Chain A
């Protein structure tokens, strides 16, 4: 497959035509090799998205109706909330992320996916791990630490699934037909090394007491940043330039962003324990690293913005670009918020409040999930050979998700801040800090319900494409009606 390094029109010389046919055939073969594992991972991920979303709404409503479902131990907040967290992160984002990674790696390495049997085994084991973990937590056998609630048997199964997945990806990478490692590949390959280290260390059981708390927040923060974030950034670095048809604005910035990301991000986490019984220097190191994150974040933000500049009209009609640009903008915003949130002044107010919950959803939904949605909108028609049947559903999905997460994040950010101020005021009784959040918690439930409805529409639409059902479209499923589409 040739690499086109300059803008050019479709030339029609025999050699060029031959090259185009070769490129087309190669791309079709690569996509075909990725189809089954990608669909398997995406389908699994979407299943867990629905499970996790439903649990999220139930858990949110428990803040509004504290007695609701409170008499059955398996349905109490302390059991459902961890299952919500684990199913959306290790279920939806991880599995859908794996699906996107498989497809991207084939495209970026320009080879068919290798060791696909390992991918199938990985998907099966991963789902088994989620099922075992969720069941055990519901039954009351939680690990007890946030992000690490799944007991050891479930964690071990997921770790094995991850190793199998990584083996296939590295094998494919090793036989790549492209000399240069594109910036998306750097993020993907690095995350395949970072996450197992994090996961194995966190589940090693070598910590107790204060050390366990430190490890817990080091893991909790870095699971987001060293696994979920690279998936989102890798997809954004591919889909924004690809959809627009324009190379990334500054490739230098792209690489600077990656290596500074790798250098600074894993020092984060302990800022969550400001005021806790840890050495001050350890927390300070984490705060400094959080502020240093301005470097990679700015590199990514400038790159994405400048790439899209002048082509924003495509955001109007392209589902992929609409979702991915929303996610990329959210990445910039949530990262800036995170850096400021890490400082002692802010952290002393927001810690132990709903502000942190808003921040987590800002990252996991507004950033990563929206980019995953955009990626799926791009990938599925190509591998299923079936266009999305209902553009209106895509549009409704976008607005339910975007408005839902906006309501959720804004409400809990404001409510959490007020809650923190009330908690820190010794003249106020604690119950005031609770009462002050009530209206914001209703807004949270409304926002969460909207996101869940959007997820349901997305799942239904996805199923139609997988089964090649619904009206067959011979035009792109754009979000705006295009008046004129010139033929080539």
Chain B
């Protein structure tokens, strides 16, 4: 009585979930998300020409420090 609906839900979820995971994985492969080029450059997508690498950004209303570690903090 109680086993059948539970089994239907579990099997359906397993099939749908597995299919979605596989679809996402193959989508990523097809779009070369795991290519050496994309992986090497992937970490840099959060930067741009203004907020570039080497520029701390937690300072909205002031020009950033060139190298934070070199400055003293009281």
A244, A311, A321 interface centre (most CB from chain B within 10 Å): A244
Minimum Cβ distance to chain B for residue A101 (Å): 15
Question: Which range contains the number of B residues in contact with the other chain?
Answer: 35 or more
Chain B residues near A485 (CB-CB < 8 A): 62-63, 65, 71
Please state if A262 and B21 are interface contacts (CB–CB under 8 Å).
yes
Closest to B38 in A: A180
Please state if A190 and B24 are interface contacts (CB–CB under 8 Å).
yes
Please state if B44 and A247 are interface contacts (CB–CB under 8 Å).
yes
Q: Per a CB cutoff under 8 Å, which of A20, A242, A313 touches B46?
A: A242
A136→B14 CA distance, assembly (Å): 32
Chain A residues near B24 (CB-CB < 8 A): 190
Q: Per a CB cutoff under 8 Å, which of B28, B42, B57, B63 touches A182?
A: B42
A208→B21 CA distance, assembly (Å): 29
Minimum Cβ distance to chain A for residue B7 (Å): 9
Minimum Cβ distance to chain A for residue B49 (Å): 5
Please state if A243 and B57 are interface contacts (CB–CB under 8 Å).
yes
**Majority DSSP secondary structure for residues of B touching A:** loop
Chain B residues near A480 (CB-CB < 8 A): 73-74
Per-residue interface assignment for chain A, residues 175 to 217, with 1 indicating a CB less than 8 Å from any chain B CB and 0 otherwise? 0001111110000001001000100010010111101000100
A378→B61 CA distance, assembly (Å): 12
Minimum Cβ distance to chain A for residue B40 (Å): 7
A-B contact pairs, 24 of them (CB 8 A): A1-B49, A3-B48, A4-B47, A7-B52, A20-B50, A23-B50, A27-B48, A27-B51, A180-B45, A181-B28, A182-B46, A183-B42, A207-B5, A207-B6, A211-B6, A246-B54, A255-B42, A266-B17, A316-B73, A378-B58, A481-B73, A481-B74, A483-B71, A484-B71
Give chain A's interface residues, CB within 8 Å of chain B: 1-10, 16, 19-20, 23-24, 27, 107-108, 178-183, 190, 193, 197, 201, 204, 206-209, 211, 215, 238, 241-248, 251-252, 254-255, 262, 266, 310-311, 313-314, 316-321, 378, 381-382, 387, 473-476, 478, 480-488
